[in-house]
Amino acid sequence: HFGSSPIARSTSPLLTAAPLPACLPAPEEAVAMATMKKVVIIGGGPSAKHCAENLVGAKNLQVTIVSANKFVEWPLAMPVCLVKPELHDKAISPNFDTYKVKGVEYKFGPATSVDVSAPTVTYSADDKDEAVPYDALIVATGF
């Protein structure tokens, strides 16, 4: 019987449960971190933002947007810029921070490659390439 084993009855301080040090995550947090799925969204416009807004609240999901620009162009306003180029500045939101989705990590630079075997998205930032690993990839470069 297991309950009668000397180990089960021992009061040795080595066998009693001690609280985890504050620097370590709680067991349930460690499990959540190990099962955290990474979603990478390529694109920085309205469709990428909409995807991120729908995913960011999901449990065990980390969302990263790779955006080529630190500004947002409003596609519906772009056709008028073909006729009146001076209106282009009005069709751009220069402050990307007001557009960001809370809880989403942002990487700025054009996506240069996707490696489905790794799986990673590589983007170019400050004259160097950086790879972002993913479990799921969304390409939201259109409207």
For residue range 73-125, list pLDDT tens digits in order: 766 667 777 888 887 776 676 677 888 999 999 999 999 999 999 999 999 99
State the pLDDT confidence band at 13, using cuts at 50, 70 and 90: very low
Better-predicted residue by pLDDT, 130 or 78? 130
What burial class does residue 96 get, using C-beta atoms within 10 Å of its C-beta: 0-12 exposed, 13-18 middle, 19+ buried? Answer: middle
Distance of CA 69 to the CA centre of its chain: 17
- Residues 6+ positions from 100 with CB-CB distance below 8 Å: 106
State the chain's mean pLDDT as an integer.
Answer: 80
Query: Which pairs count as long-range contacts for 31-36, CB under 8 Å and 24+ apart, including other chains?
Result: 32/59, 32/60, 35/60, 36/60, 36/61, 36/62
DSSP 120: E
Q: What is the pLDDT of residue 5?
A: 45
State the pLDDT confidence band at 9, using cuts at 50, 70 and 90: very low
Q: Cα(first)–Cα(last) distance of the chain, in Å?
A: 66
Rounded to 5 degrees, φ, ψ at 123 are: -130, 160
31-88: pLDDT as tens digits: 555 689 999 999 988 899 999 999 998 989 999 999 998 887 766 667 777 888 887 7
Stretch among 9-13, 70-74, 137-141 having the lowest mean pLDDT: 9-13
What burial class does residue 43 get, using C-beta atoms within 10 Å of its C-beta: 0-12 exposed, 13-18 middle, 19+ buried? Answer: buried
